[in-house]
Chain A
Amino acid sequence: MKHRGLLLSLLLCGVIFYALNNTVGAVPPLGKFLNPHTGIWQNETNETVAGEVTIPGLNDRVTVHYDAQMIPHVFAQNEHDLYKAQGYLTAKHRLWQVEFQTHAAAGRLSEIIGEKALNYDRTERRRGMGYGAEQSMVYMEKNDPETLELVQAYADGVNAYIDQLTPADYPVEYKLLDYAPEAWSPKKTALLLMYMTKMLAGRDSDLAYTNMRHLFGKEQFDLLFPDFFDHTDPVIPQDTDWSFIEVPQTPTPATMVVMDTIATTLPQPHPDNGSNNWAVSGARSASGKPLLANDPHLGLNLPSIWFVMQLSTPEHNAFGATIPGALGVISGFNQHIAWGETNATRDVTDWYKITFNDNRTHYRYENSWREITPRIETIRIKGKEAFKDTVLYTHHGPVVYDKNFMSDKQKSGYAMRWIGHDGGNHQKTFIDLNKAKNYDDYAKALQYWTAPSQNFVFASTEGDIALWIQGKFPNKWEGQGKFLMDGSRAENDWQSFIPQRFNAHTKNPARGFVSSANQHPVDENYPYYVFNDGYETYRNRVINDFFQSKATFSVEDFKALQNNNFNLKAAELVPHMLDVMDASTLSPKEEKLLEEIKAWTFNNDIDEKGPSIWRAWYGALLPLVWDEFDRDDRAMKKPFDYQTIQLLKTQPSHPLMDWGATPDKTETAKDLFLIAFQQAAEKILSVEKEKGSYAWGRYKATYAGHLLQGLPAFSRFNIPIGGDRSIVNATAENHGPSWRMIVEMTSPPTAIGIYPGGQSGNPGSKYYDNFIDDWAQGNYHQLQFFQNATPSEDLLGTLTLKPTTHE
Chain B
Amino acid sequence: MNKTLVHFLTTIFLAGIFGLVLPWWSVMIAALITGFALPLEKVKVFLTPFLAIFLYWGIYCWVLSSNNDFILAKKIARLFPLDENPYLLIVLTGIVGGLAAGTSGWLGKELHTLRK
A70 at interface (Cβ–Cβ under 8 A)? no
Contacts of A176 in B (CB 8 A): 79
State the CA gap A176–B76 with chains docked (Å).
10
- Binary contact track B40-77/A, C-beta < 8 Å → 1, others 0: 00000000000000000100110011011111110110
Chain B's interface: helix, strand, loop or mixed, by majority? helix
Q: Are A36 and B72 touching (Cβ within 8 A)?
A: no
Tell me how far the C-beta of A37 lies from the nearest C-beta in chain B, rounded to whole angstroms. 4
Q: Are A41 and B100 touching (Cβ within 8 A)?
A: no
Interface of chain A residues 405 through 457 with chain B (CB within 8 A): none
Q: Are A6 and B24 touching (Cβ within 8 A)?
A: no
- Binary contact track B1-41/A, C-beta < 8 Å → 1, others 0: 00000000000000000011001111110000000000000
State the CA gap A20–B102 with chains docked (Å).
14
Tell me how far the C-beta of A22 lies from the nearest C-beta in chain B, rounded to whole angstroms. 12
Q: Are B23 and A32 touching (Cβ within 8 A)?
A: yes
A693 at interface (Cβ–Cβ under 8 A)? no
Contacts of A714 in B (CB 8 A): 75
A373 at interface (Cβ–Cβ under 8 A)? no
Q: How large is the interface on B (under 10, 10 to 19, 20 to 34, 35 or more residues)?
A: 35 or more
Q: Are A31 and B25 touching (Cβ within 8 A)?
A: yes
Q: Are A20 and B107 touching (Cβ within 8 A)?
A: no
Contacts of A763 in B (CB 8 A): 71-72, 75
Task: Across the interface, name the chain B residue whose C-beta is closest to A12.
Answer: B103
B93 at interface (Cβ–Cβ under 8 A)? yes
Q: Are A44 and B103 touching (Cβ within 8 A)?
A: no
Tell me how far the C-beta of B65 lies from the nearest C-beta in chain A, rounded to whole angstroms. 5
Partner of B72 from A21, A44, A711 at Cβ < 8 Å: A44
A35-B107 in contact given A16-B99, A713-B78 (Cβ < 8 Å): no
Q: Are A172 and B72 touching (Cβ within 8 A)?
A: yes
Q: Are A6 and B113 touching (Cβ within 8 A)?
A: yes
A30 at interface (Cβ–Cβ under 8 A)? yes
A500 at interface (Cβ–Cβ under 8 A)? no
Interface of chain B residues 91 through 110 with chain A (CB within 8 A): 92-93, 96-97, 99-100, 103-104, 106-107, 109-110
Q: Are A44 and B24 touching (Cβ within 8 A)?
A: no
Tell me how far the C-beta of A157 lies from the nearest C-beta in chain B, rounded to whole angstroms. 27
Q: Are A9 and B106 touching (Cβ within 8 A)?
A: yes
A46 at interface (Cβ–Cβ under 8 A)? yes
Q: Are B100 and A17 touching (Cβ within 8 A)?
A: yes
Q: Are A44 and B68 touching (Cβ within 8 A)?
A: yes
Q: Are A43 and B60 touching (Cβ within 8 A)?
A: no
Q: Are B65 and A13 touching (Cβ within 8 A)?
A: no
B111 at interface (Cβ–Cβ under 8 A)? yes
Q: Are A35 and B24 touching (Cβ within 8 A)?
A: yes
- Binary contact track A1-38/B, C-beta < 8 Å → 1, others 0: 00101100110110011001100000000111011111
- Binary contact track A116-144/B, C-beta < 8 Å → 1, others 0: 00000000000000000000000000000
A765 at interface (Cβ–Cβ under 8 A)? yes
Task: Give the most central of B27, B65, B71, B76: most A CB within 10 Å.
Answer: B76
Tell me how far the C-beta of B102 lies from the nearest C-beta in chain A, rounded to whole angstroms. 9
Binding site for A on B (CB under 8 A): 19-20, 23-28, 57, 60-61, 64-65, 67-73, 75-76, 78-79, 89, 92-93, 96-97, 99-100, 103-104, 106-107, 109-111, 113-114
- The 6 A-B residue pairs with the shortest CB-CB distance, nearest first, are A764-B72, A35-B24, A713-B79, A36-B60, A31-B24, A6-B110
A-B contact pairs, 28 of them (CB 8 A): A5-B110, A6-B111, A6-B113, A6-B114, A10-B107, A16-B103, A17-B25, A17-B100, A20-B96, A31-B96, A31-B100, A32-B24, A34-B92, A34-B93, A34-B96, A35-B96, A37-B20, A37-B24, A38-B24, A41-B61, A41-B93, A44-B61, A44-B73, A176-B79, A711-B79, A764-B68, A764-B72, A764-B75
8 more contacts with CB within 8 A, not counting A20-B99, A44-B70, are: A16-B100, A16-B103, A20-B24, A32-B23, A38-B23, A42-B64, A44-B73, A711-B79
